[in-house]
Amino acid sequence: AAKAAGRNTYRFFEVAMAETARSRVRLQQELGHALAAEQFTLHFQPQMKLDTGEVIGFEALVRWQHSERGLIGPGEFIPVAEETGQIVSLGNWVLREACRLATLWPEALRVAVNLSAVQFRSSSLIELVDEALAMSGLPPERLELEITESALIEDHDGAQATLMALRSRGVRVAMDDFGTGYSSLAYLRRFPLDKLKIDGMFVRSLDSDEDAQAVVTAIISLARALHLDTTAEGIETAEQLVMLKALGCDDVQGYLIARPMPSAEVAPYLTRIRGEGADAVHGTLGTP
Ligand code: C2E
Ligand code: MG
Ligand code: MG
Ligand code: MG
């Protein structure tokens, strides 16, 4: 009986895997089509400086406007695009579009663009960044690229050369989701970065979990020692904001400040928060 049950379980997995494989293949085909049909769109989430309450920039987050399924989040298609290599053309579209849209904003704020490790390691990256800047006219200082630890672990020399090339142009680089990957402290000192983004996982448990508090404290003091800025992501409550401020975090990003919004809402959003004034913003956020 145990054997039969084992066979049934095996059969079940076989069917489930075939199903997954089929929907993957379908997703791959649709992704190729979506690129050609320009079905992607960017949403922008503000980043706020903690000590003044001012918005200093926006992170570009890609979405797929699927004809039948509606808006699909990147968690569902970025991994597939990475596997197939489609991420290089999708990522290049994101880079160009983010730079272009940022030049339309009423203020010269920074735009942060996520790069997948495949993109970061591709030999055409610097050329594509130069092109995106030249085509849009965005000053390099307004562009920040977010990379993950996985982008740096394989070819250290190559990664360092890429980071130097970006930095020599004035483009900033942030380490995204910090604390969740292969955090080797040795590489941090070696690589020229500008910012650590503290992963939302730690921020979420800040008010309930002393370990999370210890981790965030450690990341902030590490960043300080290495002269890096810190941005806490995924901040949802006023309690988290107060704690992050007390711990000396520089910037915050999360639903508490604002959800990612379509590009057309950026200008009205800025007008609205400027109108409310810094005091109102601080009041809303429960900071003096
Ligand atoms: P990420 O770069 O760490 O982006 C932050 C994610 O957290 C975004 O999810 C954002 O919508 C979400 N978020 C922001 N504030 C909060 C909050 O207060 N609470 C919660 N629960 N979530 C919050 P999203 O847009 O689904 O993106 C997921 C991931 O997909 C991103 O994580 C990034 O790694 C990747 N991604 C997004 N756009 C791109 C892109 O253009 N290129 C590449 N390579 N990856 C991208
Ligand atoms: Mg990011
Ligand atoms: Mg992140
Ligand atoms: Mg994240």
134-167 burial: b if 16+ Cβ within 10 Å, else e: eebebebebbbbbbbbebbeeeeeebeebbeebe
Going by pLDDT thresholds of 50, 70 and 90, the confidence category of residue 1 is low
Q: Is the pLDDT of residue 6 over 80?
A: no
Query: Which helix (DSSP H) or strand (DSSP E) does residue 145 occupy?
Result: strand 143-147
**In the beta sheet, which residues pair with residue 178?**
198
- What single-letter DSSP state applies at residue 55? E
Ligand 1 site, CB within 6 A: 45, 61-62, 73-75, 78, 91, 94, 114-116, 146, 176-177, 200, 233-236, 254-255, 260
**Residue pLDDT, tens place only, 96-121:** 999 999 999 999 999 999 999 999 99
Q: Is the pLDDT of residue 133 over 70?
A: yes
In the reported structure, the alpha carbon of residue 253 is separated from the centroid of ligand 4 by a whole-number distance in angstroms of: 11
**Residue pLDDT, tens place only, 190-242:** 899 999 999 999 999 998 888 899 999 999 999 999 999 999 999 999 999 99
What pLDDT, on a 0 to 100 scale, did the predictor assign at position 125? 97
Computed over every residue of the chain, the mean pLDDT equals: 90
**ipTM value > 0.85:** yes
**Residue pLDDT, tens place only, 251-264:** 999 999 999 999 99
What is the pLDDT averaged over residues 34-62? 95
User: Are 265 and 102 spatial neighbours (Cβ–Cβ below 8 Å)?
Assistant: no
Pick left, alpha or beta for residue 260 (phi over 0 → left; psi -120 to 50 → alpha; otherwise beta): beta
What pLDDT, on a 0 to 100 scale, did the predictor assign at position 74? 96
Q: Is the pLDDT of residue 9 over 90?
A: no
What pLDDT, on a 0 to 100 scale, did the predictor assign at position 170? 98
In the reported structure, the alpha carbon of residue 16 is separated from the centroid of ligand 2 by a whole-number distance in angstroms of: 32
Going by pLDDT thresholds of 50, 70 and 90, the confidence category of residue 65 is very high
Going by pLDDT thresholds of 50, 70 and 90, the confidence category of residue 185 is confident
In the reported structure, the alpha carbon of residue 275 is separated from the centroid of ligand 3 by a whole-number distance in angstroms of: 29
Percentage of the chain beyond pLDDT 90 is 71
How many other C-beta atoms can be found within 10 angstroms of the C-beta atom of residue 259?
10
**Rounded to whole angstroms, how far apart are CA atoms 74 and 80?**
10
What pLDDT, on a 0 to 100 scale, did the predictor assign at position 264? 96
Going by pLDDT thresholds of 50, 70 and 90, the confidence category of residue 179 is confident
For residue 110, give every residue at least 6 positions away whose Cβ sits within 8 Å of its Cβ, in sequence order, or none. 47, 56, 57, 58, 141, 142, 143, 144, 172
Among the residue ranges 9-13, 88-92, 247-251, the one predicted with the least confidence is: 9-13
Distances (CA, A) of 180 to 3, 32, 108, 252: 40, 30, 32, 18
Tokens of 188: 């941090």
Among 231, 151, 245, smallest CA distance to 198 is for 231
pTM (predicted TM-score):
0.91
Q: State the ligand closest to the CA atom of 196.
A: 3
What pLDDT, on a 0 to 100 scale, did the predictor assign at position 286? 46
**Rounded to whole angstroms, how far apart are CA atoms 190 and 260?**
33
What pLDDT, on a 0 to 100 scale, did the predictor assign at position 184? 66
Q: What is the DSSP string of 147-197?
A: E-GGGTSS-HHHHHHHHHHHHHHT-EEEEEEETSS---HHHHHHS--SEEE
In the reported structure, the alpha carbon of residue 4 is separated from the centroid of ligand 4 by a whole-number distance in angstroms of: 42
- Minimum CA distance residue for ligand 1 atom 20: 234
What pLDDT, on a 0 to 100 scale, did the predictor assign at position 288? 44
What is the pLDDT averaged over residues 28-51? 93
